Amino acid sequence: MTAKFIKPKFITVEGMDGAGKSTHIPDIIVSLQGRGHEVVSTREPGGTPLGERLRELLLHEPMHAETETLLMFAARREHIANVIVPALARGAYVLSDRFTDATYAYQCGAKGVDASKIRLLEQWVQADLQPDITLLFDVPVEVSMLRLANAREPDKFERENAEFFTRIRQAYLQRAQENPARFRIVDANKPLEYVKQSVEEIISTL
């Protein structure tokens, strides 16, 4: 039998706060490992010691939306250099809980930062690195807000209002529409078992 070289995949998981991505990430990891892949599971903002320190500031410190954008990309630069690229280079799959689509959804869609400024930073920081597949957990805003209300102490983003969340959802759906080959939309408003099954079907194609 000839060994088949499988190009490692960079997978990202996105969605509004409360869409349920954290529930499904452990299953995605197990499913990929079950297919024989080494998986590096990471998150943004964060993923490196410096990135995690920036995360603390980003999630709790009020700041200008452009400062927030710049810090997201500063953390991302570190994350790409120290975690994502080395992992892909040694053949591991990378699963990141959020990546640049979140900056388009939150800082651009919800907070009004110019998309052209984000694109500039994206080109600078990522060059030609893009996720291979992005799972977007999509739920109506009321559902995500209800889930958040029953969850732990909210961070800065989770304290925002319905209008803010509506803009995030729209921006994510627009990103998906503009990048149909990369995005897989998961209807996360369905019963948990159904969502798990949909996620498994997507992973089985990778």
CB-based contact 138:174 (threshold 8 Å): no
Sequence length of the chain is: 206
Q: Judged by CB under 6 A, which stretch of 82-90, 102-110, 135-143, 189-197 contacts ligand TYD? A: 102-110
Kindly indicate which of the ranges 100-108, 127-135, 181-189, 198-206 contains the residues binding ligand TYD, using the contact rule CB under 6 A: 100-108
Strand pairing report for 93-97 and 39-43 = parallel
Element (H, E) at 93: strand 93-97
Structure tokens at 18: 């409360």
Question: In the numeric block, which tokens belong to residue 153?
Answer: 């102490």
Phi, psi of 56 (to 5 degrees): -55, -45
Please give the residues from 37 up to 96 whose contact with ligand TYD meets the rule CB under 6 A: 44-45, 59, 72
Q: Where in 145-164 is the site for ligand TYD (CB under 6 A)? A: 157
Q: Which two tokens stand for residue 122?
A: 């994206």
Taking the complex as a whole, how short is the minimal distance between the CB of residue 6 and ligand TYD, in angstroms? 27
Nearer to ligand TYD, 38 or 163 (CB): 163
103 touches ligand TYD by CB under 6 A: yes
Buried b (16+ CB within 10 A) or exposed e, 29-41: bebbeeeebebbb
Selected from 10, 93, 106, 183, the binder of ligand TYD by CB under 6 A is 106
Q: Using the rule CB under 6 A, is 175 a contact of ligand TYD? A: no
Which CB atom, from 64 or from 90, has the smaller least distance to ligand TYD? 64
- Judged by beta carbon, residue 32 or residue 102, the one nearer ligand TYD is 102
Q: Are 84 and 94 in contact (CB under 8 A)?
A: yes
Which of positions 18-37 make contact with ligand TYD (CB under 6 A)? 22
Pick from 78, 97, 122, 138: which binds ligand TYD (CB under 6 A)? Answer: 97
Whether the CA torsion 102, 25, 43, 159 is positive or negative: it is positive
- CA angle 7/74/121 to nearest 5° reads 75
The reply to whether 14 sits near ligand TYD by the rule CB under 6 A is no
Closest distance to ligand TYD from the beta carbon of 107 (Å): 6
Helix/strand/coil for 191? coil
- Residues forming contacts to ligand TYD in the complex (CB under 6 A) are 17, 22, 44-45, 59, 72, 97-98, 102-103, 106-107, 157
